[in-house]
A and B are shown apart, each in its own frame.
Chain A
Amino acid sequence: MFSYTSRSLIGVSTSLRVPVPFRSLSSPTQPTPPEQEKTPVQDPTSTPAAAAPAEAAPVTPTPAATPDATPVATPAATPAATAPASIAPVAPMEAEQITEPKVKEWSERLGAFGEENRLPRSVQAIYLRPLRRKVEYGLPVCDLQLRSYSVRNVEFFTDFAIRAAYYLNLPVSGPVPLPRIVERWTVPRSNFVHKKSQENFERITLRRLVQIKDGNPQAVQAWLAFLRKHAFYGVGMKANVWEHDSLDAGKAMDASVAEVEEALRPELAQFGQRKDNSGPGTIFDTLNNERFAERKRL
């Protein structure tokens, strides 16, 4: 899901747009938001001009990206490694006025891209943690279990499922990492006599549980259908769907008894011993008759 190069690029663009003192980058001033799932580590410092959706975590420069960005932005003439970081955002501006190179620095080009042509919010959300709807009642409606033999696939598809649920207005809890299923087999390497030399094989099934809470049943069905349509290779899915009824379910069932009986009458009329079958003769006559002999073909 996360391509690390593009993540770091976004971090660079924001850091160039807003001159952030290096001290504030190195020391976190804001409390760390709670980690919802295994996303790559995000820098707790948030830039004020970060173009992020309201609910999402703001775009933050990754710790690996920011120190790299400063030396690149400074002109090659000044030694980059020892330059004070607070001057760094100002330095490329001066260099631009003097020389005006035809091909701009890649960081500037990225900065222009970030300012003028921003990514659509939905596309930008891919680089952030998945958005989630607020749970109102917390009534479980659907349990989706995803299974795979590879962590990568199951993590990716779980993320996809959670994001899809957000756009279908379904509150999600999870992913819950369920216990792994480990199957092991031991086989002799060669013939029976060489029992001493054996080989072990294993198959580990990884599982993730995604639970939908108080969602519309039709939306849940649409969500499941969407996931089936876009099923990922090597990932199996299993869903338990619960339907909830009002407390007057008993009364409604009582009211529908007459209809059900009417519908079942032709079926129930055939229940019991057949009159044409209870004639004279033993069961062997039945067994040996033509229809039976035809069936057994003997």
Chain B
Amino acid sequence: MSKTTKMAGLFRPKKLDLSGFVNTRLIRDNNKRMAFEQTEPERQALRYMIRNTSLSGRVRAQAQLQLAQMHPYTRPTQIKNRCVASGTARSVFRDFRINRYQFRMQALAGELPGVRKASW
């Protein structure tokens, strides 16, 4: 556990590179995205070796171990879309990258171009 927290700092940029609404969880998610982006070639190489049946079993097993030992932040499944206006992780619209509540507030305020109240 202590190792993980220590390692997580590796992916954190020296200077905050986010603007707008900033949250601890939003920063953490951003770190995960950065970590995944940096290690993606290595990850893909290991995945390729694991699945390649023409390689020897030993090599493939080693590749599996190495992939499993990579930092959890480098996994793409760790990435979660978050609301850019409030940092919430639930019911975030992909179209606007905004939470449903923020969407309603901004739509009613007329801040989302073209979005209006519908009745049919």
Contact = CB atoms under 8 A, between A and B. Distances in A.
Interface string B54-71: 000001001000100011
Contacts, number: 61
A23 interface: no
B73 to A, nearest CB: 11
Interface in A165-190: 183-185, 187-189
A295 B42 contact: yes
B103 A185 contact: yes
B27 interface: no
Interface stretch (A86-94, A114-122, A198-206, A253-261): A198-206
Interface string B85-120: 000000001010000110110010000111111110
A187 B19 CA distance: 27
A132 B34 CA distance: 54
A41 interface: no
B8 interface: no
A200 B118 contact: yes
B66 A287 contact: yes
Contacts of B66: 284, 287
A295 B40 CA distance: 11
A200 B10 contact: no
A188 B100 CA distance: 8
Contact of B38 (A188, A287, A297): A297
Contact of B49 (A185, A189, A283): A283
Contacts of A205: 114
Contacts of B103: 185, 187, 201
Interface residues of A, number: 25
A201 B118 contact: yes
Given A187-B104, A199-B104, A287 B39 contact: no
Interface string A286-298: 0100001001111
A189 B117 CA distance: 13
Interface in B26-54: 38-39, 41-42, 45, 49
A203 B116 CA distance: 6
Contacts of A283: 45, 49, 59
B42 A202 contact: no
A22 interface: no
A184 B62 contact: no
Contacts of A150: 114
A184 B114 CA distance: 11
Interface string A267-298: 00000000000000011100100001001111
Contact of B114 (A149, A282, A295): A149
B42 A296 contact: yes
B107 A204 contact: no
26 contacts: A149-B113, A183-B95, A187-B100, A187-B103, A188-B100, A199-B117, A201-B107, A201-B115, A201-B117, A202-B115, A202-B116, A202-B118, A203-B114, A203-B115, A203-B116, A204-B114, A282-B59, A283-B49, A284-B59, A287-B42, A295-B38, A295-B42, A296-B38, A297-B10, A297-B38, A298-B71
In order of increasing CB-CB distance, the 4 nearest A-B pairs are: A149-B114, A202-B118, A200-B118, A203-B114
